[in-house]
Amino acid sequence: MTTGEPAPVRRRRRRRWLSWTVVTLLAVWAVIRVGGLEQGSFLTQLMTVTPIGAGIAALTAVLSLLRRNRPAALAAAVVCAVMVAVVAPRTVAAEQPTARGAPLRVLAINLFTRADAETVVDLVREHDVEVFSALELSHAAVERLDAAGLGRLLPHRVLQPSFGATGSGIFSKHPVKELTGLFTPIGHNMPAAAVTLPGGGTVEFVTVHPNPPLGRKTEEWNAALRAFPPATTSSTIRVLAGDFNASLDHRAMRDLLGRGYVDAADQVGKGLVPTWPSLRKFPPIISIDHILADRRVSVRRVEIFDVPNTDHRGVFAELRLP
């Protein structure tokens, strides 16, 4: 007559198996993130929540230690350290280049076609915004914004509104000239404009809104980020602002930064402040709305704002041009 293993032993084995399974999956996650190896929709979306993955790894290490599985606890702690190493620098302000040129105050908001116009205009007025990048801009939203007073504050514009989420627009305090042929937009409407600043300087400004990397659109999303022009090919200063549907944990986003840009929020230690989703019962969890500036630009200040009736938070950056 044979007897099976005691129940406590079976439970202990199941717990060890579960701990090592979680640790292994987290380790694969960390390797993919560090190596920029994400492929396909699922892994691309997973990279967006890498900061949360660091927290999961820390929790796994603690639970494994409490269950006296020291090897699994150590492995989870190593994985946690790797993930923290790639995300923690976003909480520390970077040294800024010397820039004595004109200031440029930029606001980017995905309006979700129905963001509260009064709040948007109040933000523009309070922070003396000079260029506003508006995503998911409908014809009705343009009318509401102007009725709330945006036309008096930002009278110059290059707009490509639509009757749905594909519309976008640039509203400016200073004269603008639409730029065509700067890049090939892939996804939503993404107008570009040359903004003439007081004193005669010019900034090339692009409103950014590729489709999200969902399913078959993942390769399209990668192509959209590859299509944006580099920042430092000439004396021209470029700023990209909007809903990138990407975080700094995406290789495609890091490759874009490598073409001469810096992320404004990252530069002032706010790179982990989440911007989406803000219309739900739970708080935002990922950072996919950005203002990217030529690396020669000094980032003085960044603020993240809640805006009623949209699922994205607004991003404001005060820049100083070289």
Q: What is the DSSP string of 16-65?
A: HHHHHHHHHHHHHHHHHHHHT---HHHHHHHHHTHHHHHHHHHHHHHHHH
Q: Which residue has the higher pLDDT, 234 or 176?
A: 176
Mean pLDDT score, 145-151: 98
Q: What does the pLDDT look like over 129-145, one tens digit per residue?
A: 999 999 999 999 999 99
Distance of CA 158 to the CA centre of its chain: 23
CA-wise closest residue to 310 among 143, 112, 117:
112
Per the DSSP assignment, residues forming a β-bridge with 158 are 170
Mean pLDDT score, 58-64: 96
Q: Give the count of beta carbons closer than 10 Å to the beta carbon of residue 136.
A: 27
DSSP state of 67: T
CA-wise closest residue to 179 among 167, 170, 192, 169:
192
- Domain assignments of the chain as residue spans, ordered by start: 7-91, 103-320
In terms of DSSP bridges, do strands 289-294 and 202-208 run parallel, antiparallel, or are they unpaired?
Answer: unpaired
* 273, 44, 58, 75: CA torsion to nearest 10: -150
Mean pLDDT score, 159-184: 96
Count of CA atoms in the C-beta half-sphere (13 A) of 196: 7
Quick one: 103-320 is in which CATH superfamily?
Endonuclease/exonuclease/phosphatase (3.60.10.10)
Q: pTM for this one? A: 0.94
Q: For residues 105 and 96, what is the distance between their CA atoms, to the nearest angstrom?
A: 17
Phi, psi of 268 (to 5 degrees): -105, 15
Mean pLDDT score, 68-75: 94
Q: Cis (ω within 30 of 0) for the bond into 277?
A: yes
Q: What does the pLDDT look like over 188-228, one tens digit per residue?
A: 999 999 999 998 889 999 999 999 999 999 999 999 999 99
Sorted by sequence, the CB contacts under 8 Å of residue 154 that are 6+ apart come out as 124, 129, 130, 131, 132, 171, 172, 173
Residue showing tokens 């969890």: 285
Please check the confidence at residue 280 and state whether its pLDDT lies above 80: no
Q: What does the pLDDT look like over 291-319, one tens digit per residue?
A: 999 999 999 999 999 999 999 999 999 99
CA-wise closest residue to 304 among 292, 296, 312:
312
